Amino acid sequence: MSDFVESLGPDPNKDLRASADSPAGLTNLGATCYANGILQCLYMNKLFREGIFSAGPDVLRQQPLDNGVQKDSLEFLTLLERCLSHSKVSKARTIVQDIFRGNSEASSKTEDFYELELNVKGLKSLAESLDDYLTVEELHSDNQYFCESCNTRVDDTRRIKLCTLPDVLNFQLKRRVFLPKTTTKKKITSAFSFPAQLDMRHRLSELSQFDLVYDLSAVLIHKGSGVNSSHYIAHIKDKITGKWWEFDDEHVTNLGNHPFGEGPSSSTIKSIATDAQFNQNENGGIACGANHSEIEGGLATARDGTSLPSHLYDEIHNFNASYLDACQQYSHRKELELSGITDRRKEVRSVLAEASVPPLERLFYWISSDWLRQWADNIIPTSVDNTFIQCSHGKVPVSKVTSIKRLSAKAWDNLFSK
């Protein structure tokens, strides 16, 4: 029966979330696991979500993703920023810069950044990686600085200074290193720890008079030991409940109070994460969280008060209506098929119950045992076929006596009437 039910195709009812309190996953369209993870992280940020909602329905359709090409978070943010730059709404045009853009200085040049790329080779924690990132580098010997004014190489120093920090601070851990001898890349898989809360005030080039405390809100994880073959998942904290969730494409798992489901939260977290996202904490609260829409009476409002645009509401309403219709159609087809299977089983039991021939009964019929067995096992019955046990003259030779079964006249008539 299971094979027959499988012939109906995938059951859409299995895609229904068990609870509306559980965040929704995203389908992997080929090599889009990186985009799924990043989108889940971005959606949890209320300010970013409001900006996207205001962008308009056609802006993000201008540059669709290549489903077969896997990229990284910075490339995705760059593509997103380019798409949003065409929006007629100023809030949407600058949402990426407003939330993720910081400012740094290196070699007297000031540049914007959207994430800080940190070395992890030989380093054990985020604090060590930040120290390494901001340390003064001595330029001498083969690594001398080329002075354009002197037109020669000179000894010098170089360092990166953080001038301003964004509301959401992204770190990318450089776990891929180039091996000159083999001209290949290798992934660093050593343990690396980072704090649940990060104070960046003393890491600015000029000491800030304000607190710059960030709370860990999301971790984008690169799974797999290889560099080219990989899979991305995201662990994200829900602002409202304080719970952590694992997003693995369409699969969503509740991790509890710890980013990796290892028990109660601690001040230091160990992981193999590729990227970590911190949200600025200005008033002791977590600045990022999951939001799940509740649609009632034609209005759509997230739990934190974010309103869903009418065009998105209409699109979601149509998707839901189509989905529910598919569920109902599948359930109806399944019910009909199962009802047919039940009737078929009753039919088989009825015929087999009448198959026995009384000892003194002279009227009976011979039938192929193999055919009768197949007829009883198949959902769709077939016509009586005794050709296997008959000779060329239409008779049953003695040699076939082990391959035939006697049937009563009543059972025989029932078989032919079906």
Which residues are annotated as catalytic?
33, 231
8 Å CB contact between 220 and 277 = yes
Only one residue has tokens 């949407």, namely 92
Q: Quick one: which H or E segment has residue 242?
A: none
The distance from CA 269 to its chain's CA centroid, rounded to whole angstroms, is 23
DSSP 8-state code for residue 108: T
Instruction: Tell me the CB-side half-sphere exposure of residue 21, using CA atoms within 13 A.
Output: 7
The distance from CA 71 to its chain's CA centroid, rounded to whole angstroms, is 15
Could you give the CA distance from residue 135 to residue 46 in angstroms, rounded to a whole number?
Answer: 34
8 Å CB contact between 163 and 110 = yes
**Tokens standing for residue 364:** 């009976």
Task: Return the number of other C-beta atoms located less than 10 Å from residue 112's C-beta.
Answer: 12
Partnered with residue 221 across adjacent β-strands are 233, 273
End-to-end CA distance of the chain: 21
Comparing CA positions, the residue from 180, 162, 181, 70 lying closest to residue 118 is 162
**Tokens standing for residue 318:** 């149509």
DSSP string, 291-320: ---EEETTEEE-TTSPBPPHHHHHHHHHHH
